[in-house]
Structure 1
């Protein structure tokens, strides 16, 4: 049987399961909040055009207003100053957006410490158990943070010192950018960097190092607990916005049973 026909049959019979990793987009979807005087992203909003009425008797449709980086979304290299001459979201190669997944589960550590940071040693321990990171993979960091996605306040988990959410250390981010064979990193939090990353050196190292190296970011994923450490394939599908720095994306994984 041809390969694609075999895949279609496996999907139809459930031998390969599609796991949706995308958070629904609604007005209450959590968004990143920056301190003044920085500009702010928009929440997701629907603006009704017509709904089977005198504005359009047989059809219902809406305009939408949202930020590029609202909800489950992809960060393109040009999102950060270190990647300012890199690809915009319309230029990303689809081949790189479909890639094997390597899922690192640190949910217990993040539950105990919301400021938990992934270090190189954590990845080395994962490789000792599961083998080297697959070439061109999506590195997915499971923290259990998607359980907080119903509340802006719980999701950002901020106090007077700023947000407290798990992420990646500056040293590990540089290693992922320079040495790890990944296409990008995906997280369950509002951004790829830890909540305290504004105080790191450099600030927001996942953005600075990974996007500067031409790698990608995926944020606000969910259902990572349904993926095995290896073996799944992730498909990330952002809108090809010309000149865009990112886009809301439908992200799902294929898992073989």
Structure 2
């Protein structure tokens, strides 16, 4: 009876606006920026659609499309099986649902990222965050706000590449090790195209957040928007990827629930 009452109160709070539902998802379209690897590596495809019928002879009363897209396009979840260090771990359809819902914490480095596109979070940043806001509780999702979402409708600005490769903020090797070792962390979310920094292909190991986080049975989410609408602590996040059997990841709808006065 208590569980029913709790859920009823939650539904009422959404209906009356006491709890706001904030969409953290980038709209998915053919122009949504995607990660592009240098040659000789293969790349995923972005979104494209093929009409099946559109109120025509193929279907006079209905419209629908076939979708063609990669697992790691737009706002998406990286499962452990996406990376060599997690290849024996869980695919996206095998992740425990309780790991995809949890308290959200926002670490904000918008000013630093504006001054330095290659800004990196270090263990000291995470330790200072916990010193101020308390240790991350079980099931926590740590979300990295950088202001990068404002670039999301301009692929060139979002990827921010030059002759030395892409430049976007991220996490250092030591910072990635800290995230992977945290006993309570379920996942790490970013506004950028990938969970690693733009220059992380030159780190040791390469792409250390992928290497350490996914290898530790934790999850990454990319291309988030709306983090500026969340408090530093107190929101609840729901990460809802498509349950692709054997999938290394999947496009996801990411929602946050925020109490309002």
Taking structure 2 as the reference length, what is the TM-score of the superposition?
0.97
Check whether the contact 1:68–1:245 (CA below 8 A) recurs between aligned residues. Answer: yes
Deviation at 1:128, TM superposition (A): 2.2
Check whether the contact 2:101–2:139 (CA below 8 A) recurs between aligned residues. Answer: no
Deviation at 1:161, TM superposition (A): 0.4
Deviation at 1:180, TM superposition (A): 4.8
Take 2:39 and 2:197, find their aligned partners in 1: how far apart are those partners? 19
Taking structure 1 as the reference length, what is the TM-score of the superposition?
0.98
- The aligned runs of 1:1-257 (5 Å cut-off) are 2-257=5-260
Check whether the contact 1:102–1:134 (CA below 8 A) recurs between aligned residues. Answer: no
Take 1:232 and 1:186, find their aligned partners in 2: how far apart are those partners? 14
Secondary structure of the equivalent of 2:149?
Answer: helix
Q: After superposition, give the CA deviation of every residue in 1:109-168 in whole Å (9 maximum; x if it has no partner).
A: 001100000111111222222111122200100001000001111011000000000000
Greater than 3 Å deviation, 4+ residue runs = none
Take 2:157 and 2:247, find their aligned partners in 1: how far apart are those partners? 29
Secondary structure of the equivalent of 2:157?
Answer: helix
Take 1:118 and 1:126, find their aligned partners in 2: how far apart are those partners? 11
Take 1:132 and 1:99, find their aligned partners in 2: how far apart are those partners? 14
Give the aligned CA root-mean-square deviation in angstroms: 0.8
Q: Alignment length, in residue pairs?
A: 257
Check whether the contact 1:11–1:18 (CA below 8 A) recurs between aligned residues. Answer: yes
Secondary structure of the equivalent of 2:102?
Answer: strand
Deviation at 1:190, TM superposition (A): 0.3
Which ranges in structure 1 are unaligned for 5 or more consecutive residues?
none
Which ranges in structure 2 are unaligned for 5 or more consecutive residues?
none
Check whether the contact 1:71–1:219 (CA below 8 A) recurs between aligned residues. Answer: yes
Q: After superposition, give the CA deviation of every residue in 1:219-254 in whole Å (9 maximum; x if it has no partner).
A: 000000000010000000001100110000000100
Check whether the contact 1:52–1:59 (CA below 8 A) recurs between aligned residues. Answer: yes
